[in-house]
Structure 1
Amino acid sequence: MGKKQLLWSFFVLMLIIISACGEKSKEDILKSLDNKAEDMSGYKAQAKMNLQTGEDVQSYQIDVWHKKKNLFRVQLENPDSDKGSQIILRNQDGVFVLTPALNKSFKFQSDWPHNSSQPYLYSSLVSDVLEDTEASFKQTENYYVFNTKTNYQSNKNLPYQEIYFHKDSLKPAMVKVFDKDYKELVEVQFTSFEFDPNFSEDDFDTNKNLSSSVGDVPAMAGENDSSLTVLYPLTMPEGTTLASQKEVEFEHGKRVILNYSGEKSFTIVQELYTSYPTSMTSPVSVKGEPVDLGFTVGAITDKTIEWNENNVRYYLASEDLTKEEMIEVASSLEGKSMK
């Protein structure tokens, strides 16, 4: 071997060694993420989330506060809508979903957010990465990228996700969530993220969050403005059809009951309120979990989904539908008023 060849071989070898020394392994990154999640006292984050619901894209501005270990506050707002914001709150009293624009709140005895994947919560993203032993890993110029399985308890139609962490800080940059065919249905872009921020003692207090939002509550439908636009689902199991529709008056407004029959039958109740039986300071207790329907956050159990929008309470009940099917039917009501 000539002198030039020896020099060239040595040069190539040094490049390989330098490159190997400068690039961390998947195991190194996993350990660093685990340590960061464990050592931090909390964080504040802002993000934009896009949800592909049918042909439409729903966009949210998200503001997240987390204080170790079990204090969470997530505010979701659609900037293109006049529906106001929603707050998902976890404190020592339980889990709450607050909907100020409807003068309504749910209280859950729930393990949220620890029992399911959450694309806008740092601890959830790190947990998903650590728990998926088959997760793929790559590095780009600026990001560590993991492809992992998800853990959505109430929606098995979103099994995969791609998570981007900034190389220099391990802060989350972006999350993409895919369906079974790897079609992207959810994208979260983090616009700011701060580790170990300062919090006031009452930042996660239920009453403070309720009272600070009361100013957003609009006027209810009056007695002379009590028309209820009935919404019909555009998505339902094959062979299921509308069997009956009944409209009745009740103490606080007007109620419409839709009964759907078939191999998988269900009932949808829609109630327009002219007065509210429950104030914001008296949350309705729910035996279930918060569920994101794309246009609002509701409450889901094994057999029901309940949500509120534009002074209307919606309630779907079925002995036949799975949770995934209930979510699909409920989500397809949004903005539609045709059979």
Structure 2
Amino acid sequence: MRRSSWILAMIMCVTVLLAGCGKKSADDVVKDLSDVVSGMDSYHGTALMTLHTGQTPQEYLVDISYRKPSYYRIAMTNEKKDITQIVLRNDEGVFVLTPSLNKSFRFKSDWPDNQGQVYLYETLVRSIIGDETRQLANDDKAYIFDVAANYNSHALVRQKIWLAKDNYAPQQVQVSDANAKVVVDLKFSDFKFGTEFDKDAFDMERNMGAGSTAVPPSNSGDTKDAQPQAETGETGGNKPSDNPDQTGTSDETGDPDQAGTGTSGPAAGEANGTEEQPAADGIEASDADAGAGEPNAGADGQSDQGSEDPAMSEFGIIEPTYMPAGVQMRDMPEIEDSETYAVMMRYAGQYNYTIVESRPLDRAVSLAAGDPIDMGFGVVGVLTGDQQQTLTWMMDGVEFRITSADLPVQEMIQIAASMQDQSGK
């Protein structure tokens, strides 16, 4: 009897040891993740991103492509509005594209190295590795990490990240605020490492020609529908400027009476439009701010075709429902422009800034030092300027700009968020 009890105890100990050997610790997973990222050549994923920032949840389809060393393509599609925005990085620079409006911005940037994005695998892994207080839980198919959020919004505090146990592919991400309320919920429907892409999948012209299509197809062995574009980096296109001061912004005085005047055109970073700047490396600056009726030069110095009629109809003015403390609306001066309709609102007080709303004339490529900014409501904006900064974004066919010498970027984003889903007055 005593011998049987001893054997049973030994069997239980062995069972416990074997079970323990199959369970990885957080440090084990972190080491594996470092190896995965260091050996990663490419990936492609699709996800549904739900934003709980307004009264009703907003859903966006997100398509993520990466190819070593630094090619990125992020397409975000609002199916309700049938609008796709694309953030693109290739040898020519960083682009924010709105193909349905034939609208593009091009600028110098270290994106995404200088800011985190919830839909990028590298950002998720950095969040896990960088948080020494990380917590790890398990279910049948995934490792679940609870770590600090490291995004551009102070409202985003914590995040849970689900990684598949078999290959560490992301399955889901939930980002929460200080009250533990889920603000961003990203659910991956597909994610694959080692993806082969068409050679022009990261080409600006091809992506602009994609229209409302969310994603140019990756190379699956059937390339008969692929457009005959030259390979990225060998198109003969011009390189980004090495001079970050040539942003097209001629007024950086910070004077609220001057900021934003004459900003009816679409080119990002040309917040004042009072003087045309010589473009770098042979790329012509857009004439849109000057109201010229001639086609603008594209990224390769070629004229854009199919530009819209410059006589644009009026639109309802959208005023922000949020203003920083100590700020009041000063006035709404009329912008005289014969070729486009634009409105401007000026604010003064603790911060001084202007908001300009206008219709884009046609596609314009702006060579500027700047960064794409995730606005937090499914829209990617462009932040340009140094002493005087301009945040530009598109919504429902209208271009919005906030320009200021003293307004923090987080306040700009909060003002912009308060303008979404509003009906014009």
TM-score (norm 1): 0.89
Post-superposition Cα deviations, 1:113-142, rounded to whole Å, max 9, x if no partner, equal 122221111122112212222222122221
Give the direction of change, closer, same or farther, for the CA distance of 1:12–1:25 in structure 2 (3 Å limit). same
Q: Which deviates more from structure 2 when the two are superposed, residues 104-113 or residues 286-295?
A: 286-295
The equivalent position to 1:252 in structure 2, one of 317, 321, 339, is: 339
- Say whether residues 1:103 and 2:189 are aligned partners: no
The equivalent position to 2:382 in structure 1, one of 299, 306, 313, is: 299
Residues in 1 aligned to 2:76 and 2:212: alpha-carbon distance in whole angstroms? 16
> Which amino acid in 2 is paired with 1:96?
F
1:145 equivalent in structure 2: 144
- Contiguous gaps of at least 5 residues in structure 2: 215-304
Q: Which deviates more from structure 2 when the two are superposed, residues 115-124 or residues 261-270?
A: 261-270
- Contiguous gaps of at least 5 residues in structure 1: none
- Say whether residues 1:290 and 2:372 are aligned partners: yes
Give the direction of change, closer, same or farther, for the CA distance of 1:319–1:212 in structure 2 (3 Å limit). same
Q: CA deviation at 1:214?
A: 8.4
- Say whether residues 1:241 and 2:328 are aligned partners: yes
Give the direction of change, closer, same or farther, for the CA distance of 1:186–1:286 in structure 2 (3 Å limit). farther
> Which amino acid in 1 is paired with 2:380?
V
Give the direction of change, closer, same or farther, for the CA distance of 1:215–1:23 in structure 2 (3 Å limit). closer
Q: Which deviates more from structure 2 when the two are superposed, residues 237-246 or residues 32-41?
A: 237-246
- Say whether residues 1:134 and 2:220 are aligned partners: no
The equivalent position to 2:316 in structure 1, one of 219, 222, 229, is: 229
Are the counterparts in 1 of residues 381 and 393 from structure 2 also a CA contact under 8 Å?
yes
Q: CA deviation at 1:219?
A: 8.9
Q: Which deviates more from structure 2 when the two are superposed, residues 236-245 or residues 124-133?
A: 236-245
Are the counterparts in 2 of residues 176 and 186 from structure 1 also a CA contact under 8 Å?
yes
2:9 equivalent in structure 1: 9
Are the counterparts in 1 of residues 159 and 176 from structure 2 also a CA contact under 8 Å?
yes
Residues in 1 aligned to 2:383 and 2:156: alpha-carbon distance in whole angstroms? 17
Structure having the larger proportion of residues in strand: 1
- Say whether residues 1:192 and 2:274 are aligned partners: no
Are the counterparts in 2 of residues 102 and 310 from structure 1 also a CA contact under 8 Å?
no
Give the direction of change, closer, same or farther, for the CA distance of 1:338–1:65 in structure 2 (3 Å limit). closer
1:271 equivalent in structure 2: 358
Residues in 2 aligned to 1:111 and 1:320: alpha-carbon distance in whole angstroms? 23
Residues in 1 aligned to 2:79 and 2:414: alpha-carbon distance in whole angstroms? 24
Are the counterparts in 1 of residues 393 and 399 from structure 2 also a CA contact under 8 Å?
yes
Residues in 2 aligned to 1:108 and 1:130: alpha-carbon distance in whole angstroms? 30
> Which amino acid in 2 is paired with 1:263?
Q
Q: CA deviation at 1:56?
A: 2.8
Q: Which deviates more from structure 2 when the two are superposed, residues 210-219 or residues 177-186?
A: 210-219
Q: Which deviates more from structure 2 when the two are superposed, residues 123-132 or residues 166-175?
A: 123-132
Q: CA deviation at 1:290?
A: 0.7
Are the counterparts in 2 of residues 102 and 309 from structure 1 also a CA contact under 8 Å?
no
- Say whether residues 1:162 and 2:160 are aligned partners: yes
Aligned residues: CA RMSD: 2.5
